[in-house]
Amino acid sequence: MQLTRRPFGAIDDGTPVELFTLANGAGMEADVCTYGSALVRLTAPDRNGTLADVVLGYDDLGGYLRDECYFGRLVGRVANRIGGARLVLDSEEFLLDRNDGRHHLHGGRGGFHSRVWRAEPVETGGGPGLVLTLESRDGDQGYPGNLAVTAVYTMTDDGLRLDFSAATDRTTAVNLTAHPYFNLTGRTGTDCLGHIVTIPARRYLATDPELIPTGSLAEVAGTPMDFRAGAAVGARMGEDFPPLSFAGGYDHCYVLDGQAGLKPAGSVFEPVSGRGLEVLATQPCVQFYSGNHIPEGLPGKGGAVYGERSGLCLEPQGFVDAPGHAPFPQVTLRPGQAYNQTILYRFFVK
């Protein structure tokens, strides 16, 4: 098994945090720490075979403890926003943590991104893996039910696989995702505006100025939201288009076209290095975020300095604010039901 572990510091209450390194036969490596189950480092080859780190993050635990960007973290119980921090399930209302103005974002201030997960290495049929588990108690951030969550990272021949599972003892809401920021140049501190993004979606969720879905699905055709044929991140970002103005760039949930099961959720290609990334997922949507609010001058890994657009995110997930919009496919999980979702990050060169 190509997996090692080492100490990565401790949080304020003294709970230790570990860092695990997974590797494949091609020399690619992934570092995952137990704080927030964060993907700290992921290497991928360019067209010349040179490996470089392609995710944003920090050199030490202190950076993650101070981080407000969710770099590399797993987020939940419910990813993205819940309008008014108000969750209604079976006509019962639950008030969630308000951590995004008057709204709820990525599970709240004490969400899964800020917990120390339990971790154990495992050898899977697909390669070396890491099993991370977390118990979320009834009332956690306002959510009902005791929820048991498992996330499994597996290093594959050409990338990284992430499998989620969860079970509850009371009806609740669950919508888990991962939040890595990618920059495929391999040069930390550069922007991602020249990355070519492709998203196989003809519709996205329309939002209000606070980025809360209105309940309508908007067509991408004829707008700067259309990435079906591929476009550079920065090519149309400055256009006078209200959804871009609301978000300060791209921060939108695309409804994926195609069948159920594992399907393409989007791809990224960086022309200079030749690195490409294909994201496949079982979820019905993907959030495309162009790093609009990364603080300028933020110290990153290896002496890098991050800022706006230093990285981009493709976050497979369920419909945003689904509990607030009955026509949307819901993210409700009931006792006896199994929650299972997969994200596959597959790298290529050309």
Residues 272-286 have a mean pLDDT of: 98
Residue that has been written with the tokens 């780190």 in this structure: 53
Question: Is 191 known to sit in a ligand binding site?
Answer: no
Active site residues: 179, 315
Percent of the chain with pLDDT over 70: 100
Residue that has been written with the tokens 């920065």 in this structure: 234
Peptide bond into 115 cis (omega under 30): no
Pairing type for strands 39-45 and 29-33 reads antiparallel
**pLDDT per residue as tens digits for the range 169-222:** 999 999 999 999 999 999 988 999 999 999 999 999 999 999 999 999 999 999
Q: How far apart are CA 259 and CA 280, in angstroms?
A: 12
Tell me the DSSP string of 282-350.
SSSEEEEE--TTPPTTEE-GGG-EE-TTS-BEEEEES-TTGGG-TTSPP-EE-TT--EEEEEEEEEEE-
**How many domains would you assign to the chain?**
1
pLDDT tier at 259, thresholds 50, 70, 90: confident
Res 117: pLDDT: 98
Res 124: pLDDT: 82
Q: Can you name the residues that pair with 297 across neighbouring β-strands?
A: none
Beta-carbon contacts of 120 under 8 Å, excluding residues fewer than 6 positions away, are: 130, 131
Check which CATH number belongs to the domain holding 327 and give it.
2.70.98.10
Q: How far apart are CA 298 and CA 311, in angstroms?
A: 13
Beta-carbon contacts of 40 under 8 Å, excluding residues fewer than 6 positions away, are: 19, 31, 32, 33, 55, 57, 58, 72
Within 13 A of 199's CA, how many CA atoms are on the CB side?
31
- Average pLDDT score, the chain: 97
Res 169: pLDDT: 98
- Whole-model pTM? 0.97
- Does residue 1 carry a pLDDT above 70? no
Question: Is 67 known to sit in a ligand binding site?
Answer: no
- Does residue 293 carry a pLDDT above 80? yes
- Does residue 17 carry a pLDDT above 70? yes
Res 126: pLDDT: 75
Q: Are 113 and 75 in contact (CB under 8 A)?
A: yes
Domain around 20: 3-349
Question: Is 103 known to sit in a ligand binding site?
Answer: no
Question: Is 251 known to sit in a ligand binding site?
Answer: yes
**pLDDT per residue as tens digits for the range 110-164:** 999 999 999 999 988 777 899 999 999 999 999 999 999 999 999 999 999 999 9
Question: Is 252 known to sit in a ligand binding site?
Answer: no
- φ, ψ for residue 36, nearest 5 deg: 70, 10
Q: Which residues of 266-294 are buried (b: 16+ CB within 10 A; e: fewer)?
A: bbbbbeebebbbbbbbbbbbbbbbbbeeb
